[in-house]
Structure 1
Amino acid sequence: MNFLNWLVLVLGAASATNAAGGAIRVVEDMRGLDRAALAADFLSAGAGSSGGGSGHTNNWAVLVCTSRFWFNYRHIANTLSMYRTVKRLGIPDSNIILMLADDVACNPRNHFPATVYNNAGRYLDLYGSNIEVDYRGYEVTVENFIRVLTGRHEEHVPRSKRLLTDDRSNILIFMTGHGGKEFLKFQDAEEIGSHDIADAIAQMFEKKRYNEIFFMIDTCQAASLYKQIYSPNVLAAASSLTGQSSYSHHHDMEIGTAVIDRWTYSNLETLEKLERQDKNTLANLFKTYDSSVILSDPGIRTDLFPRGIENALVTDFFGGVQTTELTLEMYKTSEKQKVLPADVKVEFDGRLSSAQKDTLLEKPRYKLKVVLPQTYLINVPFVLCFGLLLTGVVVAGSV
């Protein structure tokens, strides 16, 4: 150890001594800490805590409104309703890709500027001040949607616009707009076909970009859009079967247009009652669908989803994964690693009061290695004087 390193070490020890009012010597050897092993232990513990036996460790949502123009207000409301739901249930904005083809909140026809509502009573503003739109307006294209799913972005695309998933990710994909048999229109300018969606999901599977996918589509003949999917671990639900139309739920006379679609509204009636720890399954959600209210027959495809809808929780896709428990106890490692001993040995020099000792010994959460010889714990003025004296001796010797 050279003089400079020694001086820094001593100064740090002296500062700690003065701040604490006494000499503290923490003896802990963490040179054997295996960070990779700790991470593996954490992940394996988290994987087992996921609800419904999914085995996923993180949840993501891709929410897409493909329609422009004021009279498609309800499609924006559909998407923002799902956005609010997944955020309320714990999925953070960093794990949500929100694509809105139009900004009806700022449309000059909007009688209530900077707001979007999904009910005629206007009880809840879906737009508010806490919304992060990742793709807006003309950024919402078939190409960008497929790039988001497959991860094949150009270099300049920021991380906030990327779906940074892995093979432990559960993904909710919700799409709404105008469609027909095996196609969905993007802004009345282009279309995405059922084969495009199937091939994009196939690429995701080959690149290990998901654990399970729940694909939801609210449009006319919506079920035709999932019929070509062939990749495993994909569950799909649609607002209408092939040959059927999907319908809006109700109008707001002051807004002047429909504010939500029937199938999305039906889903929200269940989702709004859920909390993060609820054990409602997707089977329970699907049982709430009433064709006489929705005015179409919702479609559900389960043949690619081996886990079964009876074993899949709604929050497996709509909620955030919580694998962290707040505790005052020490983190318990595996018996093989033994990288963190059970206790921290703390020695005092007698100048601390009983209250100060109790505070310092109060259930430490983390243990650090601070090994300082007792002779180093000296006052700062003495260290500075000694350093100046030693510097003078060195200079005199060199002359």
Structure 2
Amino acid sequence: MKILTLAVLLTILFSADSINVENSTKQFFSRGHTNNWAVLVCTSRYWFNYRHVANTLSVYRSVKRLGIPDSHIVLMLSDDMACNPRNPKPATVFSHKNMELNVYGDDVEVDYRGYGVTVENFLRVLTGRLPPSMPRSKRLLSDDRSNVLIYLTGHGGNGFLKFQDSEEISTFEMADAFEQMWQKRRYNELLFIIDTCQGASMYEKFYSPNIIALSSSQTGEDSLSHQPDLAIGVHLMDRYTFYMLEFLEDIHPTSKTTMKDLFKVCPKSQCVSTPGHRTDLFLRDPGSVLITDFFGNVRKVEITTETIDLTEPITLMEDKSKSGELRMESRTYGDQLPVSEIIHQKPKAKDWHPPDGFILGLWTLILLVFFKAYGMQHLKHIF
């Protein structure tokens, strides 16, 4: 009887815990998100992998166009095709035939370059396990209200992705990194996109909540290249990324296009391979998730239900006395100057001061006039 009672109590406790976890999870995700981040990685080296660099830079261009700033993008390029000796047009990387679109513009900020693109650095960026000396620009400073886009391109196989032809990252390592991110509250929702051979094998082991995963090919399939350019002797992009970017070009910041539309990008008739996606870990219906929830920017706005009275006096600290003492003065929002008047109002006489270098310039002018009038000989007589 005691054993039965104990079993019943344990069942009740575990049921209560599971209900509490479920409720806390729902409450956590109902808060929404306030910022978007992107981690864009090209894992290939050598000139014949030109297309992988172009893939990454093209996605970089798209997310910036839709509003994600460089401060929220971690860009990793394992080789600098722009300065490769074989490049007929140095400092450029093109993603379309006939060199129509240079995706290596003047405002590209590469955070990890060359031999800095390693499995270790990639995992450290995701999990936040970076040394204190690492600058802010190389960190993923996401939080529990961040939607994170992770894009990978390169050469892969069944359950692994190569980094610079010298090391590999496995699907188990990726799954573990995402679980660490979830436990450390480093994302609200996560979109994982991989353009590589057998890409679907890289998300088969994921188990953390609120992840959408997309791939350019199924396990056992190759992911094919696109747009060969005879002028430089290489392909310019991969098929899946090419059609995905063609889709993103029609997206604007206020677009109502959803993730289900992204799933239809590059059917087998265009990709030759079979693109895949996984949504069983995601808590929302992908049909209600906007593309801009990951590819666009989110303004940091806190919504409040409290009523704010704009006629209520506010206290200002102003210098009203001759002795320079601060005095308290109450005003209402209605008493303040309109923005247009604030912009065009002239500074007070007591607040005006000569611009930097004005005094030095004035003395220089006086000396020039003196030398022109009297010359160096007169100056020698004076001294």
Q: What's the TM-score, normalizing by structure 1?
A: 0.71
Name the residue aligned to 1:353.
none
Query: Which structure 2 segments of 5+ residues have no match?
Result: 1-28, 317-334, 341-349, 352-383
Secondary structure at the residue paired with 1:243?
coil
Structure 1 residue 171 and structure 2 residue 148: aligned?
A: yes
Q: Deviation at 1:284?
A: 1.2
Q: Which residue of structure 1 aligns with residue 57 of structure 2?
A: 80
Q: Deviations over 1:187-228 (max 9, x none)?
A: 000000000000000000000000000000000000000000
CA–CA separation in structure 2 for the residues paired with 1:166 and 1:324: 15
For 1:283, give the aligned amino acid.
K
1:144 to 104, 112, 121: 121
Counterpart of 1:191 in structure 2 is 168
- CA RMSD, Structure 1 to Structure 2 (Å): 2.8
1:289 shift after superposition: 2.8
* Alignment partner of 1:110 out of 84, 87, 91: 87
Paired position in structure 1 for 2:180: 203
- Amino acid corresponding to residue 275 of structure 1 in structure 2: H
Structure 1 residues 54, 101: closer, same or farther in 2, change over 3 A?
Answer: farther
Q: CA deviation at 1:363?
A: 3.0
Where 2:286 maps in the other structure, the secondary structure is coil
Instruction: Provide the secondary structure at the position in 2 that maps to 1:224.
Output: helix
Paired residue for 1:279, among 256, 269, 274? 256
Q: Is the 8 A contact 1:73 1:104 kept in 2?
A: yes
Report Cα offsets for 1:46-104 as digits up to 9, x if no partner.
xxxxxx98811000000000000000000000000000000000000000000000000
Task: State which of 111, 122, 126 in structure 2 corresponds to 1:134.
Answer: 111
Q: Report the equivalent of 2:374.
A: none
Query: Cα distance, 1:286 vs. partner?
Result: 1.4
Q: Are the equivalent residues in 2 in contact too, given 1:172–1:214 (CA < 8 A)?
A: yes
Residue by residue over 1:24-62, the C-alpha shift from the partner in whole angstroms, topping out at 9 and shown as x without a partner, is xxxxxxxxxxxxxxxxxxxxxxxxxxxx98811000000
Contact 2:34 2:301 in 1 (8 A): no
For the pair 1:262 / 2:234, whether they are aligned, the reply is no
1:241 is the counterpart of 2:218: yes
SS at match of 2:288: coil
One-letter amino acid of the structure 1 residue matched with residue 113 of structure 2:
R
Whether the 8 Å contact between 1:244 and 1:296 is mirrored in structure 2 is yes
2:311 counterpart of 1:334: no
Aligned twin of 1:390 = none
**Cα distance per residue 1:275-298 (max 9 Å; x no partner):** 111110010121233111101100
Aligned mates of 1:194, 1:65 — CA distance in 2: 17
Does the aligned pair in 1 maintain the 2:35–2:300 contact within 8 Å?
A: no
Residue 269 of structure 1 deviates from its aligned partner by: 1.2
Aligned to 1:391: none
- The 5-angstrom pairing of residues 33-52 of structure 1 reads none
How far apart in 2 are the matches of 1:224 and 1:138?
A: 26
What SS does structure 2 have at the residue aligned with 1:98? strand
Mapped partners of 2:101, 2:31: distance in 1: 33
Partner-residue secondary structure (3-state), 2:251 = coil
In structure 1, runs of 5+ residues without a counterpart are 1-51, 326-330, 347-359, 366-378, 381-399
Runs of 4+ in 1 over 2 A off after TM superposition: 322-325, 331-335, 340-346, 360-365
SS of the residue corresponding to residue 87 of structure 1 reads helix
**What's 1:57 paired with?**
34
Paired letter, 2:202: L
TM-score w.r.t. length of structure 2:
0.73
Is 1:363 aligned to 2:335, yes or no?
no
Counterpart position of 2:284 = 307
2-side partners of 1:226 and 1:205: how far apart?
Answer: 16
Q: Is the 8 A contact 1:222 1:240 kept in 2?
A: yes
C-alpha separation in 2, matches of 1:238 and 1:361? 56
The separation in 1 between residues aligned to 2:97 and 2:123, in whole angstroms, is 35
Letter paired with 1:306: L
- In structure 1, what is the equivalent of residue 11 of structure 2? none
Which residue pairs with 1:368 in the alignment?
none
CA 1:110–1:195: 2 relative to 1, 3 Å: same
Percent identity (aligned): 57
8 A contact 1:120–1:259 mirrored in 2: yes
Q: For residues 181 and 315 of structure 2, what CA distance do their matches in structure 1 show?
A: 51
Q: Which amino acid aligns with 1:334?
A: E
TM-superposed CA distance for 1:341, in Å, is 4.7
Considering Cα pairs closer than 8 Å and 6+ residues apart, tell me whether 1 or 2 has the greater RCO.
Answer: 1
SS of residue in 2 equivalent to 1:121: helix
* Pairing of 1:205-220 with structure 2 (within 5 A): 205-220=182-197
> Could you say if the C-alpha distance between residues 62 and 332 of structure 1 is closer, same or farther in structure 2, counting changes exceeding 3 Å?
closer
**Matched positions, count:** 299
